[in-house]
């Protein structure tokens, strides 16, 4: 085997932009009449302008004058003003606006935001409006009972971002490796984390300039799914074997994943910048050939392959089977296909029923089509359940670094734009066939119970919510201040048992009790 090789010959010009997740905005009011859950019936009235705030993704920038936004105006008489907030600044800006009671008309929020702030009265309580003004949303909710867990004391404070599960691409975090490098070095595909370790060592020996495993957004983001794959879990998570919620870092099994990552870091098999590696740097590593393994959203492998193959036509990331844990079990955690983030309305808006009707139109079949596919007849056609994306549209973006997200940015459609009922049809249509193969593989793993969809947290009462605010802050501080110390070697692994006790004593045991009491009430 050659001793010195280089994995990363690709020029920077073909590297991918950073991944992010949302879009952004400002404020206004007016009046309108609408029918059919929000479609405008009085075309003579001046359009009403509303501002919608969400983070602006660098990988799918939000355009203010997109076809989807024009269609929303034509169908509902609402001009939606989207003003992008860079994703790196979004959380800070959102928290500042909420703290000062100065949010725009509509704001993109997480379930935690709603749980934390609904009691302050900053978000409009939607429940009184649903029966009269939101028949389409009610129909969607009936088809996805999990969404009812978003209620706070029986009320909805946001329009949930749901997914058409019939065509969901089963997107999640899975092990992906450079299959061509395995073949080149005559290595078998690993089936366990220990076998993966041996593979990474062999690659490092052949390519000493590489950092075989790279990860984005820090260890805690990655531990959400890695710890589960090791037979444990991170933070508070649902353990299906026991049908209960467990605070992962308090359990002995959690030591395995931390010990493993510490070993990789020490031997330079893990990217040394993993604690603060940006999404863009992560993508550069994988699309340039500097790294060959990731355990993350597999859909990005399509873009990495396209970049790599400009230099080496044989280069290819491919999906590995789910690894067996120490007990011989295969398990993988993935988020629910519905993100269940939400769009919340400011309680200060005038004529809120009109905004409710606009959102309800977005949940209708027509609204869902437009906010996912663009203009009917121009960008797509529908025949029954079958949607066909325009060939001209596909050809327009097929040579982009990320064809799918470039197309969605142009249209103003999908999860990273302004949509409440998302559909993966465009992703599966414009992407290479391996994306569909990977999606089908994940579906088969779900059917075999090797993949578990993360359930939403159970609904908490007001006392529980207030207690969780206090406890989560204390426990998160203990965890955040110590996890990377163990991996980096600045705190000895021999103190992991002591660390588990520290986490439990800081409030993790009480968090478990609250979650499981609420979970039992649902049964």
Largest interatomic CA distance in the chain: 76
Is it the case that residue 2 has pLDDT exceeding 90? no
Residue 109's φ and ψ, nearest 5 degrees, are: -135, 160
- The answer, yes or no, to whether residue 31 has pLDDT greater than 70, is no
Q: Is the pLDDT of residue 168 over 90?
A: no
CATH number among 3.20.20.450, 3.40.50.2300, 3.40.190.10, 1.10.150.130, domain 12-17+170-334: 3.40.190.10
Going by pLDDT thresholds of 50, 70 and 90, the confidence category of residue 158 is very high
DSSP 120-144: GT-B---HHHHHHH-HHHHHHHHT-
| 268 vs 32, residue with greater confidence | 268
Q: Return the bridge partners of 387, or none.
A: 382
Q: Taking each helix axis from N to C terminus, what angle separates 219-229 and 254-266, rounded to the nearest 10 degrees?
A: 120
| pLDDT > 70? residue 474 | yes
The stretch 307-328 carries a mean pLDDT of 96
Tell me if residue 256 falls in helix, strand or coil: helix
Segment 156-167 shows an average pLDDT of: 90
- Mean pLDDT is lowest, of 57-61, 186-190, 323-327, for 57-61
Average pLDDT, the chain: 90
Tell me: pLDDT of 36 over 90.
no
Confidence of residue 22 (pLDDT cuts 50, 70, 90): very low
The answer to whether 12-17+170-334 and 34-166+339-432 have equal CATH topology is: yes
What pLDDT is recorded for position 7?
56
pLDDT at 18 over 80: no
The confidence score (pLDDT) of residue 181 equals 98
Strands 380-383 and 386-389: antiparallel
- Four-CA torsion 405, 406, 410, 414, nearest 10 degrees: 0
Helix (H, G, I), strand (E, B) or coil at 235: coil
Contact residues for 112 (Cβ-Cβ < 8 A; gap 6+): none
Residue for token digits 């939606």? 80
> How do the domains of the chain map onto residue ranges?
12-17+170-334, 34-166+339-432, 462-521
- What are the pLDDT digits (tens) for 92-123? 999 999 999 999 999 999 988 999 999 999 99
Q: What is the pLDDT of residues 229-259, one digit of tens each?
A: 999 999 999 999 999 999 999 999 999 999 9
pLDDT band at 165 (very low <50, low <70, confident <90, very high): confident
The predicted-structure confidence for 182-198, as pLDDT tens digits, reads as follows 999 999 999 999 999 99
What CATH number has the domain spanning 34-166+339-432? 3.40.190.10
pLDDT at residue number 88: 82
Read off the DSSP letter of residue 85. E
pLDDT tens digits, 484-512: 999 999 999 999 999 999 999 999 999 99
pLDDT score for 148: 82
- Identify the CA nearest to 244 among candidates 522, 521, 518, 516: 516
Q: Return the closest-CA partner of residue 22 out of 86, 78, 80.
A: 86
Which token pair is 229? Answer: 């794959």
Percent of the chain whose predicted confidence (pLDDT) is above 70:
92
pLDDT at 175 over 70: yes
Asked if residue 296 has pLDDT above 50, the reply is: yes
pLDDT of residue 367: 98
Instruction: Identify which of 192, 218, 334, 333 has the alpha carbon closest to the alpha carbon of residue 270.
Output: 218
* Tens digits of residue pLDDT in 356-366: 999 999 999 99
User: What CA–CA distance (Å, rounded) separates 412 from 404?
Assistant: 12
Q: Measured between alpha carbons, how far is residue 13 from residues 16, 18, 288 in Å?
A: 9, 14, 10
Q: Give φ, ψ of 327 to 5 degrees.
A: -90, 5
Chain-centre distance for alpha carbon 155: 25
295, β-bridge pairs = 175
> In which band, very low, low, confident or very high, does the pLDDT at 332 lie, cut at 50, 70 and 90?
very high
Cβ atoms within 10 A of the Cβ of 365, count?
A: 11
Return d(Cα 255, Cα 270) in angstroms, integer.
18
């Amino acid at each position: 085997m050659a001793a010195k090789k280089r994995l990363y010959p690709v020029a920077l010009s073909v590297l991918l932009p950073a991944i992010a997740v949302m879009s952004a905005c400002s404020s206004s009011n007016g009046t309108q009449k609408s029918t059919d859950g929000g479609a405008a019936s009085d075309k003579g009235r001046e359009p009403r302008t509303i501002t919608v705030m969400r983070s602006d993704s660098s990988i799918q920038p939000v355009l203010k004058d997109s076809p989807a936004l024009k269609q929303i105006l034509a169908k509902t008489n609402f001009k939606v003003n989207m003003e992008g907030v860079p994703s790196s600044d979004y959380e800070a800006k959102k928290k500042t606006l909420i703290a000062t009671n100065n949010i725009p008309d509509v704001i993109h929020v997480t379930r935690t935001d709603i749980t934390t702030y609904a009691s302050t009265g900053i978000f409009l309580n939607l429940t009184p409006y649903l029966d009269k003004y939101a028949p389409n949303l009610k129909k969607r909710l009936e088809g996805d009972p999990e969404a009812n867990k978003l209620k706070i004391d029986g009320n909805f404070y946001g329009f949930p971002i749901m997914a058409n599960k019939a065509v969901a691409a089963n997107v999640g975090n899975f092990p992906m490796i450079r299959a061509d490098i395995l073949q080149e070095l005559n290595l078998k595909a690993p089936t366990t984390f220990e076998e993966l370790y041996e593979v990474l060592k062999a690659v490092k020996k052949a390519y000493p300039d590489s950092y075989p495993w790279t990860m984005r957004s820090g260890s805690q983001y990655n531990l959400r799914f890695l710890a589960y794959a090791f037979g444990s879990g991170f933070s508070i998570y649902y353990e299906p074997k026991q049908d209960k919620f467990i605070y992962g870092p308090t359990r002995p099994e959690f030591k395995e994943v931390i010990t493993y990552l510490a070993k990789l870091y020490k031997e330079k098999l893990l990217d040394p910048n993993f604690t603060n590696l940006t999404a863009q740097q992560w993508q550069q590593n994988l699309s340039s050939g500097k790294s060959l393994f990731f355990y993350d959203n597999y859909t990005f492998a399509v873009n990495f392959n396209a970049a790599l193959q400009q230099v080496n036509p044989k280069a290819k990331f491919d999906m590995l089977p789910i690894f067996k844990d120490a007990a011989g079990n295969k398990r993988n955690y993935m988020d629910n296909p519905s993100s269940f983030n939400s769009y919340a309305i400011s309680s200060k808006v005038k004529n809120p029923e009109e905004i409710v009707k606009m959102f309800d139109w977005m949940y209708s079949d027509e609204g869902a089509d437009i906010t996912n596919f663009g203009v009917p007849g121009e960008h797509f056609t529908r025949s029954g359940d079958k949607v066909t994306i325009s060939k001209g549209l596909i050809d327009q973006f097929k040579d982009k670094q990320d064809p799918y997200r470039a197309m969605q940015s142009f249209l103003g459609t999908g999860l990273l734009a302004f949509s409440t009922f998302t559909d993966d049809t465009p992703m599966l249509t414009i992407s290479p066939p391996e994306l569909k193969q990977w999606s089908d593989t994940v579906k088969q793993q779900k059917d075999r119970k090797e993949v578990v969809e993360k359930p939403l947290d159970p609904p908490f009462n007001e006392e529980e919510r207030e207690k969780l605010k206090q406890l989560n802050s204390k426990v998160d501080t203990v965890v955040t201040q110590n996890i990377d110390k163990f991996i980096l070697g600045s705190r000895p692994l021999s103190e992991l048992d002591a660390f588990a006790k520290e986490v439990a004593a800081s409030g993790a045991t009480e968090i478990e009790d609250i979650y499981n009491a609420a979970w039992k009430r649902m049964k």
